[in-house]
Amino acid sequence: MGIDRRKFFKVSGLTALGLAGGSVSKVFSSEDSLGTVAPVRPEGPLTAQRWAMVIDLRKCHEHADCNDCVTACHTTHNVPKWENPKDEVKWIWKESFEHAFHDQEHPYQQESLKHLPALVLCNHCDNPPCVRVCPTGATWKREKDGIVMMDWHRCIGCRYCVVACPYGSRSFNWRDPRPKIQKIQPDYPTRSRGVVEKCTFCDERLARGMLPACVEACKYGAMHFGDLEDPNSNVRELLSERYTIRRKPGLGTNPEVYYIV
């Protein structure tokens, strides 16, 4: 426990330093003093009224072997890799269409949909059940842009949010994740065992003016990230032009990840 905590402070301190260094570099337009920290864009943080994502599953299907977004996300965020599926921690992953869209599949569906995987991640619901059930406020919807955030230091590990999430998007650290992280990224905290984690739409990258790691990693333009409240945004354009679906819309959670099928 003691070592974990020391390590955490070291890493978070470094992150804070990095962020501070970043803002200084912005003002003085000097070079980033810490090599490990990604540079800050001169335009400042990326902001939106309501972040949303559109995933073009047809493009994913054209490149079924591609796993770039998953790798990018899991490396950036120090997500451990467990062999036993019951211990698994995942922020974004491929799920079969029939699992991801349980209520929208039928036995005579196009072959491509039936067998090819759909990318799934936290839906950053407008009406998130996980937030409603959390007994400590360790997960909450950020007012300014709708991102469902997670505080690993307040989380008591009761897993009520995992039970309440209709999408299986939340992971619990059943064991100490650190030995299972392939290469620890010093500019992102690691977690201790016994807490819940999930995708945060890369809030830490947005703050530095960068797109989410998965979106940036996608070579085929299958992932689009933008402001839902801005009528001229990329996501609004796609949503108005294409037929899109969402996962379990009937539950009233109002998921903010849309799929072009």
What residues make contact with other proteins under the rule CB under 8 A? Answer: 84-88, 95, 98-100, 102, 129, 131-138, 154-160, 162-168, 171-176, 192-196, 251-253
Nearest approach in angstroms of CB 179 to other proteins is: 12
Q: Indicate the residue among 21 and 157 with the shorter CB distance to other proteins.
A: 157
Q: Is 8 helix (H, G, I), strand (E, B) or coil?
A: helix
Closest approach of other proteins to the CB of residue 205, in Å: 26
Q: Cβ of residue 174: shortest distance to other proteins, in angstroms?
A: 4
CA 219 centroid distance within chain? 18
Closest CB to other proteins among 171 and 233? 171
91/225 with CB nearer other proteins: 91
The distance of closest approach from Cβ of residue 86 to other proteins in the complex, given in angstroms and rounded to an integer, is 3
> What span, in angstroms and rounded, lies between the C-alpha atoms of 45 and 40?
8
Cα angle 201-238-66, degrees, rounded to a multiple of 5: 60
As a whole number of angstroms, the distance between CA 85 and CA 95 comes to: 14
Taking a C-beta distance cutoff of 8 angstroms, is the pair 195, 204 a contact?
no
Least CB distance to other proteins at residue 169 (A)? 9
Burial 232-254 (b: 16+ CB within 10 A, else e): ebebbebbeeeebebbbeeeebe
Q: Which is nearer to other proteins, 221 or 250 (CB)?
A: 250
CB 235 within 8 A of CB 225: yes
Q: How far is the CB of 83 from other proteins (least distance, A)?
A: 12
User: For other proteins, which is the closer residue by CB, 4 or 32?
Assistant: 4
Q: What angle do CA 53, 247, 89 make, to 5 degrees?
A: 75
- With respect to other proteins, which residue has the nearer C-beta, 175 or 242? 175
